[in-house]
Amino acid sequence: MSATHVYSPAAEPALSAEAAVAAMQDYAALRWYRGQVLGVCFEASTGRNRLCRFDQGRAQSLLPDRFSVRSRVHEYGGGAWCLAGDQACFVNDTDQQIWMLPLDTQTEPEPLTRQQKMRFADLQPDSARQRLIAVSELHGDGEPENSLVSVCLQSGEVTSLATGTDFYSSPRLSPDGHQLAWIEWDHPQQPWRSTRLMRAQLCSKGKVQRIEQLSDICAAWAQPQFSPSGILHAVVDRNDWWRIEVYGPEGWQPLTGNSPERTEFTTAPWQFGLSTYGWSDSGELLALGQCEGYSRLWCHTGTEWRAVDLNLLPSRLHALAVEGDQLACVAEFSDRLPAILSIHTELTPDDPDQCVRLLGGQPPAYTPSLPYSKSTLVDGISVPYFLYRPAGAPADTALPLAIWTHGGPTAATAPVLKPAIQFWTQRGFMIADINYRGSTGYGRHYRMALAGQWGQSDVADVEAIAQDLIQQGMADPRAIFIRGNSAGGYTTLSALCHSRLFTGGASLYGVSDPARLNRLTHKFESRYLHWLIGDPDTRPDLYQARSPLQQAHRIRVPVIFFQGAQDKVVLPEQTAQMAERLKLNGVPVETHLFKDEAHGFRQPRNQSAVLEAELAFYRRLMGA
């Protein structure tokens, strides 16, 4: 193609690829311990998850360098550590076993379990019985077997509590230790479609005596929790929105007072350990709610909901931990780096000092490109996205556009500072980060809109947004790119098959052969495509029509691929076959295989290599 004019910022880019990767920060799984906040910190320089103490603006690692706190149950993990008295119990990435770290001494961690074929997640303490309760995943011949188990803190002995269901999550004990609640579901469901909420009575020794199903409708139940007084609560999308309900003599009831409109109090549980609500000492329920992509802290006083305004104005809040008169959570912002916040639960609206930053939250050393909340009407449905333009770019300048499609596809993107996006905008690109149909945070109806439509509705959404930005004169029609990871890679490749708008695309471990993915992927997602596309046995024609591999002859523009050799979700052979098919069709292809990566790249050198290679690829296509 002929050379495209590229907007050139006045200043040199502040972020190199290495600096953009190094600036990535992520915190999770916060807990209070003796008045201090502990949690997991992703270390960009090593790709490890460190267990840290956060205090006075620094993160103090509590584990030797050889450890990384990460569960691989369901391949996505989560819930990989908990407190058991004065000990931290955690899942170590390399062996997937539970280890114990005394917090009041300087001793080394010691292994608790030695179950070579078993993985653990969603660790919960049962202090009265000196044990942990967890989700286990036993690997052998055939599909892994999932169970609820207890783990003795003295011997490491693993005992089954509940089995026979395909999936378990979110075990939670009542304050008196006599009841255990959890979520379970069976194939072909997923936890964001239909689950069951179960409750068991426990004897004094912790054995299950009676199990009953408490969920009263077919819905996506999540996050059961007992209040300090022993009343069971849960989140359910009964009326389109994930809201908190309470269980009483008359069954499930919403909390009193009008619920915040268009607000959801959880998200799709791809990982274990989600925590979005808890109780203060005064009995008030504190909850993190998301509306239109933005988070707020809410307080339920017992009679009504009221919003709590925080002086730092975060865009996204997660990993809530409440203890006594304080709460902690992770905050992400549109104009600064993520932070860990400590907030007094005596929430005075006009007190600017109620919110204390324990760590992070610094503004970057450059002027960031801020997200603009926008939407485009597609098939009568408003499709939201966040638009990032280079800081200082004239409003009447048509810019190269990169459409970003998130993974999942039942997931979401948020309007937060992402160094990788800043890397692109500093080089003159405009980014449209899209929550296409099927994304979470916009109600069950929007989340379910992708049923049977994967590869069609999501493609229509990204194409409509690209066309809209071109028609507005904001995007240069000669430089329109699309990129995505995992399920977003499938949307990317499908869009390249069926649209002529795009100049090129980038697929990061993207799905190219959904029929083969359906046969070979891991247990958690092994029936997912039945819902996204259809039954592969009765409707093979749908898989043929929506397979980028089978429709590769339709792609006419260059594609760059990035793939991890250890990927167990999207197998490397998918990317290799797709790239080879395009080459045979005469389409320019560039492939990068990382031997030390799985599903989602963690090594800094590989992440920076992706940024540099993708930028060079697009620039060549623009003749720049």
pLDDT at residue number 369: 96
Render pLDDT for 22-52 as a digit per residue (tens, 0 to 9).
988 899 999 999 999 999 999 888 889 999 9
Mean pLDDT, to the nearest integer, of 594-616?
Answer: 93
β partners of residue 600: 598
Report the percentage of the chain scoring pLDDT > 90.
Answer: 86
Strands (E), 499-595: 504-508, 559-564, 589-594
Q: Based on the structure, what is the number of domains in the chain?
A: 2
Which of 164, 182, 198 is at the close of a domain?
164
DSSP 8-state code for residue 229: T
- Give a yes or no: residue 329 inside a domain: no
pLDDT the model gives residue 7: 65
| Strands (DSSP E) found in 16-166 | 26-33, 36-43, 48-55, 58-61, 81-84, 87-91, 98-102, 110-111, 118-126, 131-138, 145-152, 158-162
Please, which pLDDT band fits residue 347 given cuts at 50, 70 and 90?
Answer: low
Cα–Cα dist 214/233, whole Å = 11
Ranking 267-271, 349-353, 380-384, 424-428 by mean pLDDT, the lowest is 349-353
Q: Is the pLDDT of residue 422 over 50?
A: yes
Q: Is 300 domain-assigned?
A: no
Mean pLDDT of 560-568: 94
User: What pLDDT shows up at residue 311?
Assistant: 82
In a domain, 293, yes or no: no
Amino acid identity, residue 121?
A
User: pLDDT by residue (tens digit) across 45-57?
Assistant: 888 999 999 987 8
Q: Average pLDDT of 228-250?
A: 97
pLDDT of residue 345 exceeding 60, the answer is yes
CA distance 482 to 557: 11
Range of the domain at 399: 371-622
Give residue-wise pLDDT tens across range 163-199: 999 999 999 999 999 999 999 999 999 999 999 999 9
Q: Yes or no: say if 110 and 102 are a contact pair by the CB < 8 Å rule.
A: no
CATH at 509: 3.40.50.1820
Token match 């114990």: residue? 100
Residue 310 tokens read as 């925080």
Distance CA 571, CA 521 (A): 8
Average pLDDT over the chain, rounded to an integer: 94
Largest Cα span, the chain: 77
| 113 is a domain residue | yes
SS in 3 state form for 139-191?
Answer: CCCCCCEEEEEEEECCCCCEEEEECCCCEEEEEEECCCCCEEEEEEECCCCCC
At residue 350 the predicted structure's pLDDT band, cuts being 50, 70 and 90, is low
- What average pLDDT does range 378-384 have in this prediction? 96
Please report the pLDDT score of residue 2 as a whole number: 43
Q: 592 and 612 in contact (C-beta within 8 Å)?
A: no
Q: Which of 164, 193, 222 is the last residue of a domain?
A: 164
Asked if residue 504 belongs to a domain, the reply is yes
For the chain, the straight-line distance linking the first and the last C-alpha, in angstroms and rounded, comes to 11
* For residue 129, pLDDT beyond 50: yes
- Give the pLDDT score at 344: 87
Q: How far is the C-alpha of 515 from the C-alpha of 511, rounded, in Å?
A: 10
Q: What is the per-residue pLDDT for 570?
A: 87
pLDDT at 336 over 80: yes
pLDDT band at 3 (very low <50, low <70, confident <90, very high): very low
CA atoms within 13 A on the CB side of 40: 28
What confidence tens digit (pLDDT) does each residue in 501-550 have? Answer: 999 999 999 999 999 888 888 899 999 999 999 999 999 999 999 999 99
Residue 395 in domain = yes
Question: What's the rounded Cα separation, in Å, for the pair 525 and 337?
Answer: 33
The pTM of this model reads 0.94
Average pLDDT over residues 339-355: 73
**Do the domain assignments include residue 227?**
no
In order of 130, 260, 346, the CA distances from 277 in angstroms are 26, 15, 16
Of 359, 571, 385, the closest CA to residue 461 belongs to 385
**Residue matched to tokens 């953009």:** 20
Output the pLDDT for position 6: 60
From 164, 183, 211, give the residue that closes a domain.
Answer: 164
Residue 381 belongs to a domain: yes
